[in-house]
Every structure is written in C-alpha cells, then in structure tokens.
C-alpha cells in the first residue's frame, strides 16, 4: 500500500478544488490528476501537471503547414501522418509532469533518458525512508542461460525462499546501520551524504519528472518493450495508460507505428519481396545473421 493517510488526504484536497482556465484541457487526464497509481510494492506514479492535448499537436503542425494544409482531412489522420513520417516536433508541444516513487536501480535506468527535467529527493539533505523493493515471488527470475541480459524461468522452492530472505535481511540490516551511523544520540552522527552509501539499490527514492510527449513516447517504446527489465516496464505500462487517457489519438498512432511496428532493414525488405514472389528463403540464403533472422521471423510471425 504505497500511500499514507496523510498523502491520501493531500491528494483528496488537491482534487477537490477545480479552477477556471482558458487553456486546452484533457478531460481524460484531469480525471487522473494527483491520484497515485501503485507500481511494484511501494512505488507509484502520479500526474502533477500537463500541457496540451491531441488538438494541440494538430494546431502546432498546422502552424507549419499554414494555409496550405488540405491533404490531411482530420485530426486523427494528421496525427497518424506525423507519427508515420517521424515529424516529432508537434508531439513536443505537449508536456507532462509526473511524481514517481521508484527503487534506485530503476531510477538509474530511467535517468539515462536525458531530455527531461528532474528534481529528485536529496539523500544529502534528508533522511531516506525504510522502504525497499522486494520482488513478488512471480518476478523472481533466474538468469537467462541464452542471453546475458535477460531473465529465464522463475525461481521456485527453497532457492526462491532463500533469495527473498537474503534481500529482506540485507536491506533491513543496511538500514539499521544507516540509522546507527546518522544517529546524533550520544555521538556526532555521520553526515547523511556519507551514510547513504551503505543503502542498497532497491531502496526507494522519488522525483518529479517532466518531459514532452515525443520524448515520453520514445521512453515508453524502449521501456514498455518486452526486452526492458520488468521493474521499469511496470512503470512504463502504468504511464502508457495515462497517455492513452491524455492524448487518445496520439496513443493509438503510437501503438500502431511504434509499439506494434518494426523497423526492417534493406536486407529484410528484400527477403519479404522474395517470399512474396514465392521463393523459399532460409537464414542461410537471407543474408542475415542468425540473430537478425530470428528477430525478422518474429516480426512477421503470426500473432496469437
């Protein structure tokens, strides 16, 4: 349960006081504002503010086209055209600000997306809470035996229990030590900026994270992907739902062209031509490496 009664009371207060604005309003996102969406065992994502909607994307695009716009007759069609042709600037005209609570090892992946604004809780200045991410048993995955950067089957039985026990015990002990070191009870107390170095990467931090829709979709394409680590994907999945409610037409185009789409190489396109021509193409005759061929087959495989 990620929210304390105080936090819930603050959210209720923020949600009870609508004001008038002349700005573009997204009804779908207003309904979500401030509410914390739980992620993992103690994390959350909540929308703090936003700018723009589907119409704002089109409005910006039409500035470019001026009086000349006529080929694209409606907003959804225009948004699909922009997405298909990688016209990213109109999507940059929408902005969102999220409050996220997340484990530090997830934060370290997340921060690699540089085109965003961040204010993170400072462990130099303040004391971190005793909250650690402990995976649910169904996410306790073994190391993949075929892919260095991947997960295999789920651990079970005694091995799973031992891992959970280790994670809990070590986190608790590290936090006990942290408290012992910073305590000013009968001693000077170690500087917070030093004591935090004893805390493991599954401790929770939080930040305000603000980005534009183009960069957000790029983040989601990479982090809602099956190859992303499960823990960051859990956040990306929740944000996808928010984007769907915020800019529904843009999200539909994103699903079709990015999440469900694939970039095929010149070699791959040539293989498709040969296959449509009736030729039997194999990895050996494809001109692709084994890895590429496997990915190519997956891209055009029947989806159940």
Judged by CB under 8 A, the chain residues 135 through 154 that form the site for a second copy are 135, 140-144, 147-153
Question: How many Å apart are CA 222 and CA 260, to the nearest integer?
Answer: 12
Stretch that binds a second copy, among 1-9, 36-44, 47-55, 237-245 (CB under 8 A): 47-55
Count of residues that interact with a second copy, criterion CB under 8 A: 141
Q: Does 9 bind a second copy (CB under 8 A)?
A: no
As to burial, measured by CB atoms within 10 angstroms (0-12 exposed, 13-18 middle, 19+ buried), residue 64 is exposed
C-alpha 91, offset from chain centre: 17
Query: Shortest approach of a second copy to residue 111 CB, angstroms?
Result: 6
Q: Would you say 45 and 37 are in contact if contact means Cβ atoms under 8 Å apart?
A: yes
Matching residue, tokens 């699903």: 255
63 binds a second copy (CB under 8 A): yes
List 44, 50, 204, 293, residue binding a second copy (CB under 8 A): 50
Stretch that binds a second copy, among 2-10, 36-44, 97-105, 239-247 (CB under 8 A): 97-105
Q: Is 283 in the site for a second copy (CB under 8 A)?
A: no
Residue positions counted in the chain: 304
- Burial of 134: CB neighbours in 10 Å, binned 0-12, 13-18, 19+: middle
Strand partners, 101: 44, 206
Please, which of residues 99-128 interact with a second copy by CB under 8 A?
99, 103-105, 108, 111-112, 114-115, 117-122, 124-127
- The smaller minimum CB distance to a second copy, of residues 1 and 112, is found at 112
Selected from 40, 42, 133, 246, the binder of a second copy by CB under 8 A is: 133
Backbone angles phi, psi at 212, to 5 degrees: -90, 165
Catalytic member of 223, 252, 258, 297: 223
> Judged by CB under 8 A, does residue 3 bind a second copy?
no
Whole-number minimum distance, CB 238 to a second copy, in Å?
19
> Counting contacts by CB under 8 A, is residue 190 touching a second copy?
yes
Query: 147: which residues sit within 8 A by CB, 6+ positions away?
Result: none
Residues 217-256 that bind a second copy (CB under 8 A): 222, 229, 255-256
According to CB under 8 A, which one of 55, 200, 244, 245 is a site residue for a second copy? 200
Residue 12 tokens, joined: 């209720």
Contact residue for a second copy among 9, 65, 294, 297 (CB under 8 A): 65
Tokens coding 178: 């942290």
Q: Is 223 a catalytic residue?
A: yes
User: Near a second copy by CB under 8 A, which window of 2-10, 38-46, 241-249, 265-273?
Assistant: 265-273
CA-to-CA distance for 295 and 297, rounded, in angstroms? 5
Which residues lie across from 43 on neighbouring strands?
Answer: 39
3 state DSSP class of 202: coil
Examine residue 201 and tell whether it contacts a second copy (CB under 8 A).
yes
Distance of closest approach, residue 62 Cβ to a second copy, in angstroms: 9
> Which lies closer to a second copy via its Cβ, residue 144 or residue 285?
144
Edge-to-edge, what's the strand order for the sheet holding 43-51? 37-39, 43-51, 95-103, 204-212, 117-120
> Could you please report the per-residue DSSP string of 233-247?
HHHHHHHHHHHHHHS
Residue 45 near a second copy by CB under 8 A = no
Q: Which residues contact 166 (CB under 8 A, 6 or more apart)?
A: none
Catalytic residues: 223
């Amino acid at each position: 349960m990620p929210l304390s009664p105080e936090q819930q009371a603050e959210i209720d207060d923020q949600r009870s006081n609508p004001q008038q604005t002349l700005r573009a309003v997204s009804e779908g996102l207003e309904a979500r504002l401030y509410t914390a969406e739980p992620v993992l065992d103690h994390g959350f994502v909540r929308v703090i503010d936003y700018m723009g909607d589907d119409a704002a994307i089109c409005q910006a695009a039409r500035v470019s086209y001026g009086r000349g716009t006529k080929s694209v007759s409606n907003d959804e069609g225009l948004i699909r055209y922009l997405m298909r042709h990688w016209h990213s600037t109109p999507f940059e005209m929408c902005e969102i600000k999220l409050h996220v609570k997340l484990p530090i090892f997830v934060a370290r992946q997340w921060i690699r997306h540089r085109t965003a604004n961040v204010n993170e809780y400072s462990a130099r200045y303040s004391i971190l809470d005793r909250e650690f991410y402990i995976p649910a048993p169904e996410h306790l995955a073994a190391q993949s035996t075929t892919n260095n950067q991947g997960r295999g089957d789920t651990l079970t039985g005694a091995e799973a229990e031992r891992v959970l026990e280790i994670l809990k015990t070590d986190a608790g002990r590290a936090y006990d030590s942290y408290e012992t070191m910073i305590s000013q009870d009968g001693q000077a107390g170690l500087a917070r900026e030093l004591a935090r170095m004893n805390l493991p990467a599954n401790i929770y931090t939080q930040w305000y994270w603000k980005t534009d829709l183009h960069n957000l979709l790029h983040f989601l394409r990479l982090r809602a992907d099956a190859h992303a680590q499960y823990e960051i994907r859990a956040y990306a999945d929740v944000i996808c739902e928010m984007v769907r409610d915020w800019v529904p037409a843009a999200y539909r185009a994103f699903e079709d062209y990015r999440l469900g789409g694939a970039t095929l190489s010149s070699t791959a396109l040539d293989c498709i031509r040969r296959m449509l021509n009736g030729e039997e193409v194999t990895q050996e005759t494809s001109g692709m490496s084994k890895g590429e061929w496997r990915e190519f087959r997956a891209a055009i495989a029947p989806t159940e």
